[in-house]
């Protein structure tokens, strides 16, 4: 997986690169069908409480991905577009 650099000019591209890496690895965007609503709600809440490591904005978006039984999620900053896998 790619890492998100701490450079404001490249953060949106880095977030897109993380998404592209997951898609290239066979993941599909969206939550897995077996995932309980309360699990997704907990993950969304955790992302909303996170602080962006790049611009310090509080409240990141939850972007789930799945491949078979594997579930991964990205936390993406609404302000600068930085992302990290959670």
In 30-82 the beta strands, taken as DSSP E runs, fall at: 60-67, 70-77
86: in domain? yes
Note the residue count of the chain: 86
Q: Is residue 6 part of a domain?
A: no
Tell me whether residue 9 is in a domain: no
Domain count of the chain? Answer: 1
Summarize pLDDT for 2-37 with one digit per residue, the tens.
444 444 435 677 788 999 999 999 999 999 999 999
Q: Environment class of residue 4 by beta-carbon count within 10 Å: exposed (0-12), middle (13-18) or buried (19+)?
A: buried
* Helices within the chain (DSSP H only): 11-24, 37-49
- Please report whether residue 72 resides in a domain: yes
pLDDT digits (tens, 9 = 90+) for 30-65: 999 999 999 999 999 999 999 999 999 999 999 999
Q: Which residue has the tokens 């959670």?
A: 86
Whether 41 is covered by a domain: the verdict is yes
10: in domain: no
Structural domain of residue 46, as residue ranges?
32-86
Whether 44 maps to a domain, the answer reads yes
CATH number at residue 54: 2.20.25
Structural domain contains residue 11: no
């Amino acid at each position: 997986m790619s890492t998100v650099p701490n450079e404001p000019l490249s953060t949106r591209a880095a977030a897109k690169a993380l998404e592209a890496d997951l898609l290239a690895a066979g993941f599909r965007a969206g939550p897995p069908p077996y995932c309980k609503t309360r699990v997704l709600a907990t993950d969304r809440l955790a992302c909303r409480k996170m602080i962006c490591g790049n611009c310090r904005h509080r409240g990141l978006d939850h972007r789930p991905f799945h491949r078979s039984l594997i579930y991964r999620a990205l936390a993406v900053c609404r302000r600068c577009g930085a992302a990290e896998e959670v």
